[in-house]
Homo-oligomer: A and B are copies of this chain.
Amino acid sequence: MRLATLRDGSKDGRLVVVSPDGAACMSAPAATLQQALEAWTEVELALRAIDDFPEPLDPAAIMAPLPRAWQWLDGSAFQSHGDLMDAVLGITKPKTDLPLMYQGTSDKFYGPTDQVKFPDEALDIDFEGEFGVIVDAVPMGTSAAEAMGHIRLIVQINDWSLRALAGPEMKTGFGWIQAKPPCGMAPFAVTPEELGENWHNGRVCLNLNVDWNGQRFGAANGEPMGQGFHELVAHAARTRDLVAGTVIGSGTVSNTNFREIGSSCIAERRGIEVLDLGEAKTPFMRFGDTVRMEAVDPSGRAPFGAIEQKVIRG
């Protein structure tokens, strides 16, 4: 099952169930995705019962599936990315088995084709291709095994980052505020079974195709996460109840063979250049640039649809 949220003038939009071919939809029996998540066990059956899709799906009307959330916690679960970022930022982190995670701004997620405003190109504008999950209410102390059952939806995310600010903020130990403006989301939030065998061990085992200004930039696969999403959820819930609609991110999708398959963010490519060439060659984004992100399965199907965003001066 795939869900989308359509513009209706409100901040939360209108929830619809999407037809299997992605061309049509039907209004959901819950007004918003947040409302559906707050009563998921009751709402899910009604959502799944829908098999008539009378409304053509207008791509221009699609917002983020969850246009705002009470909580956004982003991990950094791909070791090959973390190691490179530490190298390029000059960070030495202590060895730890704990998942890395920060809390980011969640009062707004950009829709898949929304233009994204930044104050200044000199802040080093970067995209980050990620996967994420949305949970229903998770009680404090939930184990990783139990957490798997709270993962109700899977999403694809562009975690916008301002790299000139990221290193200095990280060195404070307080995490990122200015370096992490709102993220974007791909059109469709999908239930785990929609991904079939490509949802495995709490990982989205799909290639995430990333194109920058029409050129392929990366096609990393989501399988090699150091922790599965269920483990990230349990980490987040150790000392707090997670409110229904909490979004948990994977961090930038990255594979150890990044020299062959490319990267899901510019900073990673720059890190590779630092390692291989002694200095970063690839510039960050300019106003007017576009990024496209689309996870595809081996048959070429894109379960989440595509993010396609242009950066503009704010």
Contact = CB atoms under 8 A, between A and B. Distances in A.
Interface string A111-130: 00000011100010000000
A117 B104 contact: no
A240 B119 CA distance: 9
- Give this chain's copy count: 2
Given A103-B103, A103-B105, A107-B70, A119 B239 contact: yes
Interface in A151-192: 162, 165, 168-179, 181-182
B176 A175 contact: yes
B175 A174 contact: yes
A243 B171 contact: no
A170 B173 contact: yes
Contacts of A107: 70-71, 243, 246
Nearest to A101: B177
Contacts of A175: 102-103, 173-176
A189 to B, nearest CB: 19
Nearest to A236: B177
Nearest to A91: B173
A108 B244 CA distance: 12
A76 interface: yes
Interface residues of A, number: 50
A165 B239 contact: yes
Contacts of A91: 173
Interface stretch (A92-100, A201-209, A252-260): A92-100
Interface in A52-66: none
A71 to B, nearest CB: 5
A70 B106 contact: yes
Nearest to A241: B108
A68 interface: yes
B71 A171 contact: no
A29 interface: no
22 contacts: A70-B107, A71-B105, A71-B106, A91-B173, A93-B173, A96-B168, A96-B172, A102-B177, A103-B104, A103-B177, A107-B246, A108-B243, A119-B140, A141-B314, A165-B239, A173-B175, A175-B175, A177-B236, A178-B235, A179-B239, A181-B239, A181-B240
* Across the A-B interface, the 7 shortest Cβ-Cβ residue pairs: A175-B175, A170-B173, A70-B107, A107-B243, A102-B174, A103-B103, A178-B239
